[in-house]
Structure 1
């Protein structure tokens, strides 16, 4: 699948129930390691709940997926070297991509009219948050997991209008920082939950890494699926 943008084509994929009907749209951003089998599995499971899920390669300016070679399992000894290679690509990302992805998503014949949701993992969670902030009329639900969602400052979160869930790794944020973040979310006035997932480390949803935590992944589904059901039903 090729998604037109202002500076080229972004590759990606979509998955949805094949029942010849329309479904609410969800834009899913991968983690920093990009599109790979575990991301396809997550998108497929979410689609099974009745959604059209679009997953773009946000590194498209640097080439199609896979942008860099990845081992089948990403261990802690691999992570640092891989992130070092990806960091220049992350720093070069610009915000225009969200307009193209949302426009492509809502134009698909399998996507119903009404608001959409955005979700993401790691850096993808930050991109999902930026997308929701920039498109308050289109995005009704935002979920981000083990993501640096406060990287743009609390003033950006105040502009959120979507229903929100942030699931934090226990190693990513202190209880004190969580309290400050949640104060910013309260100021936004939207329906927000933001919590630390007990015993988890950064990347806990990704079953192809040493960070994977099965209980954390289950809690992620327990939070994500009801959130989307509530928020997208409003449309």
Structure 2
């Protein structure tokens, strides 16, 4: 496994990032992975490495680069229930300032970078994200449907921008929701909007999970939820991108 630390040019200056991809040469389908609000840290390296091990070139940008290099706040090795509120209080103003327009502008830089890499196969890419990063994945798929063939989001506010954004998506998609984030009634409402949008998708609540269930370094982590996430994500990417 190769992991590279990167600087990517954007319209608003250079952004930090890292990429993970298989050793041994060759070209691999590209996947853009958006972190949760806590950003780049060892657990994100684990997730990207796991996905790269299935044959993908995985790019993880520091999407809050306008505020400095990651980490933007002092993160403990383990984010417990006591630590989480204070960390989010520091990060939320930065998250709220990261508008849909910024996301679209930055997505052009991330996608252009992927297209230029000799290790990345020609053709469409996948996007996936966690928490707020899942919303960024949705925005990217909606902004560049000609480039994005697969979309996944975990414990994410996927409909935060409204049905109009969902209607622009053409990718095959999977949305895995935390049980603490959506009631069955809210899931039914979301699924009606997804059906109206007309793209191929699955959308489900992962039983017994709370927000952040994929993140091994937090109190929210749920091993069964993470396994379910991989069981949904890998076939989605393999089917839409031709296999890793």
Normalised by the length of structure 2, the TM-score is 0.94
Runs of 4+ in 1 over 2 A off after TM superposition: none
**1:111-135 superposed Cα distances (whole Å, 9 cap, x missing partner):** 0100000000000000000000000
Q: In the alignment, is the contact (CA less than 8 A) between 1:143 and 1:164 conserved in 2?
A: yes
**From 55, 62, 68, the counterpart of 2:60:** 55
Distance (Å, rounded) in 1 between the aligned partners of 2:34 and 2:114: 13
Number of residues of Structure 1 aligned to a counterpart in Structure 2? 234
The RMSD of aligned alpha carbons is 0.9
Aligned to 1:191: 200
Kindly report which structure 2 residues correspond to 1:84-95, keeping only aligned pairs within 5 A, or say none: 84-93=89-98, 94-95=102-103
Mean CA deviation greater in 38-47 or 98-107: 98-107
Name the CA distance, whole Å, in 2 between partners of 1:229 and 1:191. Answer: 15
Q: Name the structure 2 match of 1:120.
A: 129
For residue 220 of structure 1, what is the aligned residue in structure 2? Answer: 229
* TM-score, L = length of structure 1: 0.98
Aligned position for 1:200? 209
1:120–1:128 contact (8 Å) kept in structure 2: yes
Q: What residue number does 1:27 align with?
A: 32
Structure 2 residue 147 is matched with structure 1 residue 138: yes
Deviations 1:187-208 (A, max 9, x none): 2222100000000000000000
Task: Quote the Cα distance in structure 1 between the aligned partners of 2:138 and 2:209.
Answer: 21
8 Å CA contact 1:167–1:220 kept in 2: the answer is: yes
Task: Say if 2:163 and 2:197, in contact at 8 Å, map to a contact too.
Answer: no
Q: Which blocks of at least 5 consecutive residues in structure 2 are unaligned?
A: 1-5
- Picking from 162, 174, 177, the partner of 1:168 is 177
Offset at residue 19 of structure 1 (A): 1.7
- Secondary structure of 1:12's partner? strand
Q: Per-residue CA shift, 1:181-230, capped at 9, x if unaligned?
A: 11121122221000000000000000000000000000000000000000
